[in-house]
Amino acid sequence: SKNFISMTQEKSNDFNDLFLISQSKFLVSHTCGIANINALFRKKQLLINVIPFQLIEFVENPPGSLFIPKKLFDIKRKRFLKLHEIADLKYNIHEKNFFKKRELKVIENSANEIKSAIKEMFFLTNKKNISYKNKLQEKFWNSMTDKKGVKLIREKSNINICNSFLKINKNLIN
């Protein structure tokens, strides 16, 4: 499509990356350096495969951004962790094999989850009427123990988890 450009590997360089971000409606990325550069331009972004998943991490993102976290499968308990359990993990990004030591298997976002999230972000940036005041959103945000983080991220920064992700993963909401 002429509306989408993948700037990976040999196409990527500092000038092209900055120029394209400055001209884009939104950026699709994970939590990496380029996502922080995007914040300088105050462009909305869709963060995919977010981990560690801690609400305070989202304060750097421009208002109106969306995210979808990775999922964690607890090998001992033979079940996926609920999203609030993932958010409550005491992450140490410097600890080698953090997830493996806790017998957690990290599950990347599926192609369907990413595609649905991109469509949602596209509609959102084109001023389509998308509400983030619905039962699934309320259930998700109410399950978070970091109430101060919820208020800061959701109410003040207007950053939300994708509706499409919650619909696909209802079982992960407590």
Band of residue 33 on the pLDDT scale cut at 50, 70, 90: low
Encoded tokens for 33: 């350096």
Phi, psi dihedrals of residue 135, rounded to the nearest 5°: -60, -40
pLDDT surpasses 70 at 5: no
d(CA 108, CA 51): 10
Can you give the pTM of this predicted structure?
Answer: 0.86
In which residue are the tokens 């596209």 written?
A: 122
3-state secondary structure the chain: CCCCCCCCHHHCCHHHHHHHHHHCCEEEECCCHHHHHHHHHCCEEEEEEECCCCHHHHHHCCCCCEEEECEEEECCCCEECCHHHHHHCCCCCCCCCHHHHCCEEEECCCHHHHHHHHHHHHHHHCCCCCCCCCHHHHHHHHHCCCHHHHHHHHHHCCCEECHHHHHHCHHHCC
Give the pLDDT of residue 34: 65
Across the range 72-91, mean pLDDT stands at 95
Tokens of 44: 């909305």
Q: How confident is the model at residue 78 (pLDDT cuts 50, 70, 90)?
A: very high
